[in-house]
Amino acid sequence: MRNTTIEKQISYLKWFLRWSTKKGYNTNRAFEDFKPKLKSTKKKVIFLTWKELNQLRECVIPETKKYLERVRDVFLFSCFTGLRHSDIYNLRKSDIKENHIEITTIKTADSLIIDLNNHSKSILDKYKDVHFENDKALPVISNQKMNDYLKELAEIAEINEPVRETYYKGNERIDEVTPKYALLGTHAGRRTFICNALSPGIPPQVVMKWTGHNDYKAMKPYIDIADDIRANAMDKFNQL
Higher pLDDT, 205 or 141: 141
Q: What is the pLDDT of residue 222?
A: 84
C-alpha closest to that of 77 among 155, 137, 148, 156: 137
Residue 34 pLDDT: 94
Compute the distance between CA of residue 123 and CA of residue 52 in angstroms, rounded to an integer: 18
- Between 108 and 21, name the one with better pLDDT: 21
Task: Please enumerate in sequence order all residues whose Cβ is within 8 A of that of 149, keeping only pairs 6 or more positions apart, or say none.
Answer: 67, 68, 71, 141
Confidence category of residue 235, pLDDT binned at 50, 70, 90: low
User: Nearest CA to 190 among 35, 27, 78, 30?
Assistant: 78
> What's the pLDDT at 127?
95
Amino acid at 25: Y
Average pLDDT (200-205) is: 84
Mean pLDDT across the chain:
91
> Residues 38-65: what's their mean pLDDT?
92
What is the mean predicted confidence (pLDDT) over 207-236? 77
Q: Which whole number is the average pLDDT over 31-42? A: 92
- Say if CB 153 and CB 68 are below 8 A apart: yes
Q: Does residue 184 carry a pLDDT above 60?
A: yes
Indicate if the pLDDT at residue 51 is higher than 80: yes
C-alpha 48/C-alpha 57 separation (Å) is 11
Instruction: State the pLDDT confidence band at 223, using cuts at 50, 70 and 90.
Output: confident
